[in-house]
Structure 1
């Protein structure tokens, strides 16, 4: 069956459909990874986007559920040069086409993905419509113009309820803005007692969980679309050690008074060089973001730039001057890799332990008992005041 991709600038690509059928509108982006198409498909940060893979052969090692980064895919379309329906991999459970069909995602293959990528690099990411229907180009253009891009991606991909991954060491609250499973895996490897909370959890609700540290996860879209999360981060800075990744990095910057802006075509792939300004070392990183922290907005804040992108010099890492908070724009939990930056999770745990030494507290049970006594005393005082007024 024929499939077509129409960009908002009028460029039309015609190819072969695989996966589901119908129409789908999204922001057209590209990923430069040679491997990792399963992780791309299941990364919640791609919610609302039509993803183009620049590597020409996709699907050759099939689909393995154990390699997924979330329960299900959230992308709006998948664009490849060639897709393989006969994978060669003893672990493969089914094909990429059957996965897309299962979740109602349209795929298109047989188009010039290099031309499409060059067009996005030159003109920037743009809206597109992917279809297997017989609409005319004029009808598709009208549908594309009438369909706005999503702004509620975070609420769509975040967990709706609190859940835990028990451990016996530091308690870490993960605020789920679209968290990949890799974050949970890396914290679990370090025996953390993990509590995952929804994206709209308030600072007070997090305080009640008595965390040792807070993880601000990755997620899709514009950080300014979740102002409640910015306020939550602002309220907690200084109270707990905080580590932000990707969207969490941007929310941390906004909470400290910095600003963000949209990149021309974003950073998406597993081969992005990042320089650690303290050591001068270059790390190869996995990235997936369309927004960045504006460099000129850092002045006048309590933020220090710790990492920069070696390709375009954009900010890739921040640290607070006074409080135990740091963040990175890239993905230290990357799967299937690279793993160069996984040490950041060790830095986070070390920061938690140092914070606890610098700010000794009563054991949690003693804290709860003290809070309960304070509440009882407050109730008693209110009763006495009421009686005195009588």
Structure 2
């Protein structure tokens, strides 16, 4: 195999199989859970999404890198416009063909970006065959190696590691708004697209507190609403965050849960979250709103979910479900002012079908 960067790359899977390709990015290796996305665009947003921490991402689209990587664009209040966090979050990247970027605002190539962030990549891989393997057998642990051959593989237990320790801020972060009011985000790895969606709808100060904050750490900011964010890993490990959610319920403050935050809320209210076979990771996933009867195309990135109606908390109303596999995509408790979504309403990258949910949360907060 001829490789344009003159070094090979390998994917060592825990079932014993080895996939050879061409290395790019950093000449190193990394452990991770091997997952895939069917997104056809938005690799800068995908790779910087904290929910991918601990995972080796396969991008199904055959050409990745076409428009390079732009310079990070930070607004005056600290919200990032074109990435989802300050750095690459995936543990590794697998593509069919890595291309050289060519666009007016491109600052780095995909290869240069991975190299700068110390992330290994593999190209010249039959990604269709690899994705079929995962769809048949489920996600699998492995090692991605770029330019380095590995002799011994240790087991990688993704489900036993609390990855929010790597994606949650260590201290409080404030994004200033236009009004003397605040929203608190319990930040387990929040995407900046969510922060921007909340800011556009409310214009309040947005206060991000560490994922393991307790209720007192949140209430001292006198928030008008609390958001439990997205984030990586197994939600069943987050007992401390589940306890915080239950404590916040006592204050009767409106709550919005997104992705991991939805899973935390589900367990706090007595529901069940289970691991999926290969998860939902795409920007074209349909959901059905059972209240309005409408369907929407949405952005997803999760490997855990409410698998059926019987796993819902008993005191909530079903709101959204996925017509492809009937997993639950959202519930609502109108009396307590809680909105809970498995999918992402902010859509970076992806469609704008459900950005109205941020405005719905605003109306609950303001009693409209």
With the length of structure 2 as denominator, give the TM-score of the two structures: 0.91
Match of 2:144 among 130, 142, 148: 130
Instruction: Write out per-residue CA displacement over residues 310-332 of structure 1, whole angstroms, 9 at most, x where no aligned residue.
Output: 11010000112531111110011
Structure 1 stretches of 4+ moved >6 Å: none
The root-mean-square deviation of aligned C-alpha atoms, in Å, is 1.5
**Any conservation in 1 of the 2:53–2:232 contact (CA below 8 Å)?**
yes
Asked whether 1:306 is paired with 2:315, we answer no
Partner residue in 1 for 2:89 = 74
The number of residue pairs the alignment matches comes to: 349
Partner of 2:110: 96
Answer whether contact 2:308 2:326 (CA < 8 A) is retained. Answer: no
The 1-side partners of 2:157 and 2:331 are apart by 33
Q: CA deviation at 1:49?
A: 0.2
Find the aligned partners of 1:84 and 1:134 in 2 and give their Cα distance.
22
Whose Rg is larger?
Answer: 1
Residue 14 of structure 2 is aligned to residue 2 of structure 1: no
Quick check: 1:347 aligned with 2:360? yes
Q: CA deviation at 1:9?
A: 1.8
Note the 1:116-265 alignment, pairs <5 A: 116-132=130-146, 135=149, 139-140=151-152, 143-145=153-155, 147-149=156-158, 151-169=161-179, 170-190=181-201, 191-238=203-250, 239-265=252-278
Matched, 1:113 2:127: yes
Q: Give the aligned partner of residue 43 of structure 1.
A: 49
C-alpha separation in 2, matches of 1:234 and 1:219: 19
Instruction: Quote how far apart the aligned CAs of 1:144 are.
Output: 3.5
Q: Give the conservation status (yes or no) of the 8 Å contact 1:25–1:144.
A: no
Mean Cα displacement is larger for which, 117-126 or 318-327? 318-327
Among 58, 68, 74, the alignment partner of 1:62 is 68
5+ residue gaps in structure 2? Answer: 1-6, 74-81
1:274-353 matches, within 5 Å, as 274-298=287-311, 301-320=314-333, 322-353=335-366
Instruction: Determine the C-alpha separation between the residues in 2 that align with 1:45 and 1:299.
Output: 23
Unmatched 5+ stretches in structure 1: 358-390
- SS of structure 1 residue aligned to 2:106: coil
CA shift digits 1:112-134 (9 cap, x unpaired): 00000000000000001112355
Q: Secondary structure at the match of 2:348?
A: coil
Q: TM-score, normalised by structure 1?
A: 0.86
2: distance between equivalents of 1:298 and 1:128?
A: 31
Which residue does the alignment assign to 2:76? none
Structure of greater relative contact order (alpha carbons < 8 Å, 6+ residues apart): 2
